């Protein structure tokens, strides 16, 4: 892998090269399978910006050549900018644009509430059934914040309940062992940035993946930390996790109280924090219901059928 950097003299030059909503960079990332990172200038004067390009060396060179071409091009006409501005206003709710160029936006009012909470609070807990977009939106928001430069890395974790102490006996390296348990988050990354860019982000530790038990003793600064499947944490694990937050960090917790897999379901760390932290200032709880499901329409009907026929089981998990 190769990393090359160019210096941009001003914000105006950066805007001309990046395009509206950084669309030029996104297009080049998809075309050449590279990554772009924007950081404050490394020059002694501190002026301008530094744009780093990472990927396979030939692809990096091609991407840089394409950027240089845009650098020499005159700024877009005012009329075109106005049209793009109108388009941007139409997509004002957009979180991020996927690798295919599709704008990702909240699909209902509850998702919009969730995205707003992630923007406004440093600790957000989303609770609700499968298919409501809790994990996907957390990943989309985290990637958007990473691209903006407000955070330096994304940390993904979840309790590996099913594997227990057998994790070491699973075949493959560390990532291959954990992969089945983080697959829903991986799928979100693949949709938004594509498998190749996700692999590069993981190699550079811009995205860090680890089981919950491996977080003990860590302090995570300037990071967005996502805990998935939080219903399977114990109170001790949840306390340990929530105290990993460092300076300028943001934490997103997702879970489904109807899918608790630990032996003592009432001992779930997610149930605990919903009870003891609900009135703490600076923490937002977002509750999804079956009506917020955005998967196939049959998912809502399946869940309702289970609730109607097994009300006692559903009640024990509340």
For residue 44, the domain's CATH number is 3.30.1370.10
Residue 79 sits in the same domain as residue 195: no
Residue 35 sits in the same domain as residue 160: no
- CA of 280: how far to CAs of 121, 123, 226, 294, in Å? 12, 10, 20, 30
What is the chain's alpha carbon radius of gyration, rounded to the nearest angstrom? 21
Question: Where are any strands of DSSP class E within 228-273?
Answer: 250-255
Q: Which of 57, 90, 123 lies at the terminal end of a domain, its last residue?
A: 90
Angle between helices 174-193 and 195-203 (to 10 degrees): 130
Give pLDDT tens digits for 228-284: 999 999 999 999 999 999 999 999 999 999 899 888 899 999 999 999 999 999 999
Residue 71 sits in the same domain as residue 127: no
Cβ atoms within 10 Å of 255's Cβ, excluding its own: 27
User: Given a cut of 60, is residue 163 above it in pLDDT?
Assistant: no
Give pLDDT tens digits for 134-158: 999 999 999 999 888 889 899 999 8
Residue 22 sits in the same domain as residue 148: no
User: Given a cut of 70, is residue 203 above it in pLDDT?
Assistant: yes
Instruction: Compute the average pLDDT of residues 287-294.
Output: 91
State how far Cα 268 lies from the chain centre.
24
- What pLDDT score was predicted for residue 80? 36
Cβ atoms within 10 Å of 63's Cβ, excluding its own: 23
Residue 86 sits in the same domain as residue 155: no
CA gap 269, 152 in Å, rounded: 28
User: Given a cut of 80, is residue 286 above it in pLDDT?
Assistant: yes
Residue 222 sits in the same domain as residue 188: yes
Residue 75 sits in the same domain as residue 181: no
Q: Which of 47, 73, 90 lies at the terminal end of a domain, its last residue?
A: 90
Higher pLDDT, 126 or 190: 126
- What pLDDT score was predicted for residue 55? 85
Residue 210 sits in the same domain as residue 303: yes
- What pLDDT score was predicted for residue 220? 94
Region of 54 (left: φ > 0; alpha: ψ -120 to 50; beta: rest) is beta
| Domain extent at residue 233 | 96-316
Q: pLDDT-derived band of residue 97, with 50, 70 and 90 as boundaries? A: confident
- Averaged pLDDT score across all residues of the chain: 81
User: Given a cut of 80, is residue 11 above it in pLDDT?
Assistant: no
End-to-end Cα, the chain, rounded Å: 49
- What pLDDT score was predicted for residue 204? 83
- What pLDDT score was predicted for residue 81? 38
CATH for 269 = 3.40.50.300
Yes or no: say if 25 and 19 are a contact pair by the CB < 8 Å rule.
yes
User: Given a cut of 90, is residue 71 above it in pLDDT?
Assistant: no
CA gap 242, 267 in Å, rounded: 17
- What pLDDT score was predicted for residue 15? 73
Residue 238 sits in the same domain as residue 130: yes
- What pLDDT score was predicted for residue 47? 65
Provide CB contacts within 8 A for 190, sequence distance 6+. 198
Residue 112 sits in the same domain as residue 227: yes
> What pTM did the predictor assign?
0.69
Say how many domains are in the chain: 2
Provide CB contacts within 8 A for 287, sequence distance 6+. 126, 127, 128
Least confident of 11-20, 164-173, 231-240: 164-173
Q: Which of 58, 90, 122 lies at the terminal end of a domain, its last residue?
A: 90
Name beta bridge partners: 153: 223
Q: pLDDT-derived band of residue 166, with 50, 70 and 90 as boundaries? A: very low
Residue 145 sits in the same domain as residue 283: yes
User: Given a cut of 50, is residue 90 above it in pLDDT?
Assistant: no
- What pLDDT score was predicted for residue 175? 61
Give pLDDT tens digits for 206-228: 999 888 888 889 999 999 999 99
- What pLDDT score was predicted for residue 164? 42
The sheet with strand 49-55 has its strands ordered as 2-8, 49-55, 35-40
- What pLDDT score was predicted for residue 174? 58
Residue 150 sits in the same domain as residue 129: yes
- What pLDDT score was predicted for residue 171? 54
Measure the CA angle with vertex 38, ends 90 and 56; round to 5°.
105
User: Given a cut of 50, is residue 302 above it in pLDDT?
Assistant: yes
């Amino acid at each position: 892998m190769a990393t090359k950097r160019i210096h941009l003299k001003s914000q105006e030059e950066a805007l001309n090269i990046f395009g509206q909503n950084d669309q030029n960079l996104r297009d080049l990332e998809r075309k050449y399978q590279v990554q772009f990172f924007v950081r404050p200038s490394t020059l002694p004067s501190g002026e301008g910006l530094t744009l780093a390009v990472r990927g396979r060396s030939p692809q990096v060179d091609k991407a840089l050549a394409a950027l240089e071409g845009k650098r020499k091009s005159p700024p877009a006409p005012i009329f075109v900018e106005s049209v793009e501005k109108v388009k941007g206003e139409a997509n004002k709710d957009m979180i991020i644009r996927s690798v295919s160029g599709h704008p990702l936006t909240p699909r209902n009012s509850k998702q919009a509430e969730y995205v707003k909470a992630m923007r406004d609070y440093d600790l957000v807990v989303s609770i609700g059934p499968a298919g409501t977009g809790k994990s996907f939106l957390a990943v989309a928001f985290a990637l958007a914040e990473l691209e903006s430069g407000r955070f330096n890395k994304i940390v993904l974790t979840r309790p590996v309940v099913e594997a227990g102490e057998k994790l070491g006996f699973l075949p493959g390296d560390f990532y291959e062992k954990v992969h089945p348990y983080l697959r829903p988050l991986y799928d979100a990354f693949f949709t938004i940035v594509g498998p190749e860019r996700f692999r590069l982000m993981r190699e550079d530790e811009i995205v860090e993946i680890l089981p919950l038990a491996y977080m003990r003793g860590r302090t995570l600064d300037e990071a967005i930390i996502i805990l998935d499947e939080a219903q399977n944490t114990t109170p001790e694990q949840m306390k340990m996790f929530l105290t990993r937050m460092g300076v300028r960090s943001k934490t997103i917790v997702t879970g489904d109280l109807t899918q608790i897999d630990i032996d003592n379901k009432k001992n779930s760390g997610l149930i605990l924090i919903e009870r003891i932290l609900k009135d703490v200032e600076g923490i937002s709880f977002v509750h999804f219901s079956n009506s917020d499901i955005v998967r196939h329409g049959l998912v809502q009907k399946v869940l309702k059928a289970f609730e109607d026929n097994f009300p006692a089981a559903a009640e024990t998990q509340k």
